[in-house]
Structure 1
Amino acid sequence: MELYTNLRAGEKGAWVSIGTYLFLSAMKLIVGYIGGSEALKADGLNNTTDIIASIAVLIGLKISQRPPDENHRYGHLRAETVASLVASFIMVVVGIEVIINSVMNIINPVRETPSTLTAYVALGGAAIMYVVYRYNLALSKKIKSSALKAAAYDNRSDALVSVGTAVGIFAAIFGFPIIDTITALVIGMLIIKTAFDIFWESAQTLTDAFDTEEIETLATLIKNVDGVIDLVDIKGRTHGNATFIEVTVTVNPDLNVRESHRITEKIEQTIQRFDINCTVLVHIEPHETEKPEELKNNKRAD
């Protein structure tokens, strides 16, 4: 099945992120301590949370590939969403720790000017993360992976954080050491903001929230299917990279079962052209010229 093939391909992006974050976090923490930069150390801690998040995505992708079983009729596709939810809590803890350390350094400032090397390390890290961002974004579009796309945007935010870190370090070098500590404080807030975004998206998915614009697009496509008279109801939910759509339509009541079934196949093909990883359940009802409420009122009048 193409869906599971895409999940396996998505593991490449997760491994690239993990390897890059391992290298950058170690480099930033070591140089940050040696060069005396609170901002670079905070950036390094930010990358350690990204390691955890990437590992969570990798584990989720692996579990998601398990086929449906007796207890999971829809498969295990939501495993990556649960893993992302756990990772968001871990990121919050690290972000709070960075903020506490930054506040303590503001209250009891350390009069140490960071080394120029720390700024260059931050800029180098930004360049590397941008390359990883472009790679993961291209891969996510190729395999249509929402999880990998989210990871790519996280890569991009990390590149921007590293640019901000370099700016703060240069400001400290030119006589404004408090800027370095303030930058670390901002990075801590950005870590928490990223964690909240991941948490919110995961919570929305787990509670079956669905994009209203996508529903409207699908509704328009279904109404244009030959044989469909009216669209009574449409619902959608996501399981990892898969989408499940439930549709109720009315058709000519004089059609036989075979003819009605052809209409359901047309609806399924139409939706799957829009989203290849979509599973569609179509319910056919006979079209009534009068609505049920009107029929009841007419009977009472008689």
Structure 2
Amino acid sequence: MIASILRAIFKSHPNPDDPVTRSYCGKFSGAVGMGLNLLLFLGKLLAGLISGSVSVMADAVNNLSDASSSVVTLAGFKLAEKPADDGHPYGHARIEYIAGLIVAAMILVIGVELVKSSIEKILHPEPVVFSALTIGILIASILVKLWMAAFNKRLGKAIHSPTLEATAADSRNDVITTAAVLLAGVVGSLTNLHIDGFAGLAVAIFILWSGIGIAKDTIDPLLGAAPDPELVHRIRDQVLSYDKVLGIHDLIVHDYGPGRQFASVHVEMDSHEDPLVCHNIIDDIERDIARELHVQLVVHYDPLVTDDPELNHMRDLITDQLHSIDPRLNLHDFRMVRGPKHANLIFDLVLPFDLKNRQSEIQAAVEQAIACEKHKYYAVITFDDSSFNQ
């Protein structure tokens, strides 16, 4: 059934990376979740009133909260599709992340409330009687939530939506919650053991842990998490595939929410190439990346001298010295400015985060290597952050 629904969705919206497709999927998921959770709330409310079980009532309130979360998800995707304006020139796509954070907050609130009600149940136990109707409603709820978890998980992965994956995790938690409530109620009815409160407490702790994880996953992109390695590799590979491109560096990706990604990169080409030809290639790169990867790319052209024996020798010498320190050390924008008495070797050096405190050591090692040459050289190094050279 899930596969059929997904086929129908992507038949009319074939590109999962298209913002229109993302918005449609998010609103569809929100509407489905809102309807099903309201039905589950009404069913469990009835079961809780019949059985007198506090845990069943709490589970019903949990489903009401899930319905509210679905409304938030629906509103989040709707607001995220608003076009850019003067106040928000990069669009409103990050609202989806905020919606996911609100869902996480609701999960945490429910977890805290379940802890309180479970402790109250442990301190003041009451007999619980589970009828066949109550058991049937809870089993049906488990099946519905299993379906919702699988549906949102697959849909979230298809469109790379942390909000839908958070919703899937919430549905998975509901399965565990309802199963624990059902087990505790049945055991309590058969044995007169008052374990309803203990089961609720264990489930509440699990829900709190899950809520914290979901919050972290949605906060990271808001704070500025590292770009998706797969996207970085796709940009790198595609740019390097163009004729006359010798190399790239300083690839920076800015994420303003799903479907609103911007990037810049320095592209190296032979300095003897016709600048107009290079400019046309750069235009092709920017246009193709925008069409195929939905990333607005700005390319900076770096002319590279390839036929200067002295420059090539010094670049290879310094590269070997750097790799002897750490293979991750890479230089770029290497150029030589010759003077009457010495030459300046000017270049940028990509410095991994864990080597930030070794700049003086690296500078000294480079100067030691070039001091052995017959001409006098000075190394002028600009240390680059590795996050800008993905």
Fold match by TM threshold 0.5: yes
Structure 2 unaligned blocks of 5 or more: 1-16, 306-311, 316-331, 346-375, 378-390
Change (3 A) 1:106 1:167: same
1:186 to 199, 202, 216: 202
Whole-Å separation in 2 of the counterparts to 1:152 and 1:181: 26
Q: State the partner residue of 1:66.
A: 82
SS at match of 1:286: strand
Whole-Å separation in 2 of the counterparts to 1:185 and 1:176: 19
- The CA deviation at 1:267 is 6.4
> In the alignment, does 2:300 pair up with 1:283?
yes
2:133 to 102, 113, 117: 117
Q: State the partner residue of 1:92.
A: 108
- Computed over aligned residues only, the root mean square deviation of the Cα atoms, in angstroms, reads 3.0
Q: State the partner residue of 2:278.
A: 259
Conservation of the 8 A alpha-carbon contact between 1:140 and 1:148: yes
2:266 to 213, 225, 248: 248
- The CA deviation at 1:187 is 2.6
Q: State the partner residue of 1:166.
A: 182
Conservation of the 8 A alpha-carbon contact between 1:7 and 1:61: yes
Whole-Å separation in 1 of the counterparts to 2:285 and 2:249: 17
- The CA deviation at 1:28 is 1.4
Identity %: 23
Whole-Å separation in 2 of the counterparts to 1:146 and 1:272: 24
Q: State the partner residue of 2:344.
A: 299
Whole-Å separation in 2 of the counterparts to 1:237 and 1:157: 33
Whole-Å separation in 2 of the counterparts to 1:234 and 1:168: 55
Q: State the partner residue of 2:362.
A: none
- The CA deviation at 1:209 is 0.4
1:120-199 map, 5 Å: 120-140=136-156, 143=159, 145-175=161-191, 177-199=193-215
Give a deviation string over 1:225-254, Cα, whole Å, max 9, x none: 233322212233433322333323322223
Whole-Å separation in 1 of the counterparts to 2:258 and 2:183: 38
Whole-Å separation in 1 of the counterparts to 2:209 and 2:254: 26
Stretch of structure 1 that moved more, 20-29 or 290-299: 290-299
- The CA deviation at 1:48 is 2.3
Conservation of the 8 A alpha-carbon contact between 1:113 and 1:177: no
Q: State the partner residue of 2:329.
A: none
Whole-Å separation in 1 of the counterparts to 2:256 and 2:344: 45
Conservation of the 8 A alpha-carbon contact between 2:188 and 2:195: yes
Q: State the partner residue of 1:269.
A: 288
Stretch of structure 1 that moved more, 101-110 or 191-200: 191-200
- The CA deviation at 1:127 is 0.8
Q: State the partner residue of 1:75.
A: 91
Q: State the partner residue of 1:3.
A: 19
More strand by share: 2
Query: How many residue pairs align between the two structures?
Result: 300
Conservation of the 8 A alpha-carbon contact between 1:39 and 1:180: yes
SS at match of 1:69: coil
* Larger Cα-atom Rg: 2
Conservation of the 8 A alpha-carbon contact between 1:28 and 1:121: yes
Change (3 A) 1:92 1:154: closer
Structure 1 unaligned blocks of 5 or more: none
Q: State the partner residue of 1:228.
A: 245
Q: State the partner residue of 2:353.
A: none
Conservation of the 8 A alpha-carbon contact between 1:35 and 1:117: no
Whole-Å separation in 1 of the counterparts to 2:107 and 2:206: 10
Stretch of structure 1 that moved more, 110-119 or 191-200: 110-119
Aligned partner letter, 1:245: A
SS at match of 1:295: strand
Stretch of structure 1 that moved more, 207-216 or 8-17: 207-216
SS at match of 1:84: helix
Whole-Å separation in 2 of the counterparts to 1:141 and 1:161: 24
Conservation of the 8 A alpha-carbon contact between 1:43 and 1:184: no
Change (3 A) 1:16 1:69: same
- The CA deviation at 1:212 is 5.4
Stretch of structure 1 that moved more, 101-110 or 136-145: 136-145
Change (3 A) 1:278 1:51: farther
Stretch of structure 1 that moved more, 142-151 or 194-203: 142-151
1:182-221 map, 5 Å: 182-211=198-227, 213-214=229-230, 217-218=233-234, 221=237
Conservation of the 8 A alpha-carbon contact between 1:225 and 1:266: no
Q: State the partner residue of 2:3.
A: none
SS at match of 2:191: coil
Conservation of the 8 A alpha-carbon contact between 2:289 and 2:296: no
Whole-Å separation in 2 of the counterparts to 1:149 and 1:177: 37
- The CA deviation at 1:201 is 1.6
SS at match of 1:72: coil
